Chain A
Amino acid sequence: MVKNKKAIIILIAIMAILPIFIKSKVVLNAIVLLLIFATLGEAWNIITGFAGQTSFGHAAYFGIGAYTSAVLYFHYEISPLIGMVLGAIIAAIIGVVTSYPTFRLKGHYFAIATLAIAEVIKQLFISWRYVEGATGISIPILPRSATFMERIIYLQFNEKVPWVYISLFLFAVVVFICDYLENSKMGYYLKAIRESHEAAESIGINTTNYKLYAMIVSSAISALAGSIYAQYILYIDPFMMFSLEVSMKIVLLTVLGGIGNIFGPIIGAAIFIPLSEFTRMKLGGSGTGIDLMIYGALIVLISVFQPKGIIGIVESIRNRSTKKKGGEGEVEALTRN
């Protein structure tokens, strides 16, 4: 646990120093997106990696977060900082309302339900005039003369660097929450539910409640990431926010990095986001989806050879080196998570 905390701090420190050396807007853009998606991966990890309830519809909460802050700003000029918080609350409520009945479904059926819910929400937003329907919302841009204070309140910056720090801040907070959660009692209850639903109930865990708590945290975090994303891109529409592609990206990058591990999402995002940005730049419109193809191939390889993801590969290498040291190695390998 202490080891984890140290590693997290080192990781965040490195990310914080990066903008000093990197001047390229392309790279900085990739870092911002990487951090936003890593945050989403962490959120997804709570409900799927810890609690074992596979969600294929996390784009729904991401989109709701983005739309809440954008709509409030667009219609009423309410600061996105407030919009973000409201978005997180609304996403959590929708998470609870939709999950309460669907948590009765097990395994694949729950996953299919989440997929369907995200799709339903997308269709609603497409035909909902108040949120500008399929045209999407262009967030009003501040005039060039805007003061620094205004820029903070309305969360708009012309430079990339502030965005690196905003997304890094959110990611850092979320990682610490996840680390705390993993080692808290609730973390163990969620893992018990993942390992055996019936046994968890038989020892007295109120499984429905704990799954709902996990969903609340997970959807609220996803919504925060969504608001940040909307303010960064300054344009959202239902097709990009609620798309299956976003849901899948979240799933795939976490699986690639290592599901159920707090470093999984950041590792997965660090590989996936630069890859998709690169193919997008080099191949343009005709190349859309190439990144997903490469990614699909990676996932196939990972699930065949190391289902625990890249983290699993790292661990097995580390275990092999400790085994060489002698007698205790075997036991060590078995006890290490």
Chain B
Amino acid sequence: MLKVKNLNVGYGNVPVLFDLSLEVKQGELVSVVGSNGAGKSTLIRAISGILKPYSGEIEFMGERIDNVPAYKVVEKGIAHVPEGRQVFGKLSVKDNLLLGAYTIRDEKIINARLNEMYELFPRLKEREHQKAETLSGGEQQMLAIARGLMSNPKLLMVDEVSLGLAPVIVERVLEVLKVISKDVTVLMVEQNVQEALEIADRAYVIQNGRIVMEGPGEELLESDMIKKAYLGL
């Protein structure tokens, strides 16, 4: 479904990712893990069109998307849940969700999506008229995910879902992602290696802008390198 081939990206003159390739197949939950500054968020931003790659290919559903502007990538069926949640703080929860349906024109579909989101996240229904900034961190993360899902994406990309959340909340958010991944393909980027590998079908490990390992999540969890470098075992 998503194929990244020999991708080179960076900010201005500073390269961040080097010849990076990865693949996400329909229906999978794929995690990309790595430490701070490894280039995880850069990867997501390149796929969603916010950053233009220096070279390499990004292909989604058989179509090149590496030179498509960010707002058009969403139309193609990729939703991006940005790092640090970035909900629209001064707008109500409901308005946040409705804005997520930007690419959908049909009001009926929008309302149906809205109700689905409320079913998935009952908490958001309770707070639908509250300003998004008054939600707790975990609730804001749920809102950011729900906002991403409103556009009815084929692929949901989630950037650093655990950032600034209590461990208990992180687990709950990840559980939700696992549930979501039954219907939508999910690509998530995480520095919380243990949890991210546990729920992933497949995973990639990034170090200094290069993929150093890949394989099924559980397999990676067992590997010595992961245990030493990330889990401190």
Q: Taking beta carbons and an 8 Å cutoff, which residues of A are in contact with B?
A: 188-189, 191-192, 194-196, 198-207, 331, 334-335, 337
Contact = CB atoms under 8 A, between A and B. Distances in A.
Contact of A195 (B72, B90, B103): B90
25 contacts: A188-B99, A191-B90, A192-B99, A195-B88, A195-B91, A196-B82, A196-B86, A196-B88, A199-B88, A199-B144, A200-B99, A201-B70, A202-B74, A202-B79, A202-B86, A203-B74, A203-B99, A204-B71, A204-B72, A204-B73, A204-B151, A205-B99, A205-B102, A331-B130, A335-B92
Contacts of A191: 88, 90-91
B91 A192 contact: yes
A133 B91 CA distance: 47
Contacts of A205: 71, 99, 102
Nearest to A198: B82
B125 to A, nearest CB: 14
A334 B131 contact: yes
Given A204-B75, A335-B131, 5 more contacts: A188-B98, A202-B82, A202-B86, A204-B103, A334-B131
A311 B59 CA distance: 50
Contacts of B80: 202
Interface of B: 48, 50, 69-75, 79-82, 86-92, 95, 98-100, 102-103, 129-131, 134, 144, 147-148, 150-151
Given A189-B99, A198-B50, A199-B88, A206 B71 contact: yes
A206 B102 CA distance: 10
Given A192-B91, A195-B89, A196-B88, A204 B74 contact: yes
**8 nearest A-B pairs in the assembled complex, by CB-CB distance:** A204-B74, A195-B88, A199-B86, A202-B80, A196-B86, A206-B71, A335-B129, A201-B70
A246 to B, nearest CB: 29
Main secondary structure of the interface of B (DSSP, over half): mixed
Contacts of A335: 92, 129-131
A327 B81 CA distance: 36
Given A195-B88, A206-B71, A201 B98 contact: no
A203 B92 CA distance: 16
Contacts of A189: 99, 102
A189 B102 CA distance: 9
Nearest to B81: A202
A334 B70 contact: no
Given A188-B95, A206-B69, A335-B129, A199 B87 contact: yes
B131 A201 contact: no
A205 B134 CA distance: 24
A35 to B, nearest CB: 29
A258 to B, nearest CB: 13
Contacts of A204: 70-75, 102-103, 151
Contacts of A201: 50, 70-71
A337 B82 CA distance: 25
B134 A334 contact: yes
Given A198-B86, A199-B87, A207 B99 contact: no
A315 to B, nearest CB: 13
Nearest to B50: A201
Contacts of B129: 335
Given A188-B99, A198-B82, A203 B151 contact: yes
Nearest to A196: B86
Contacts of A196: 82, 86-88
Question: Which one of A204, A205, A334 has the highest number of Cβ atoms from chain B below 10 Å of its Cβ?
Answer: A204
Contacts of A194: 90
A67 B224 CA distance: 74
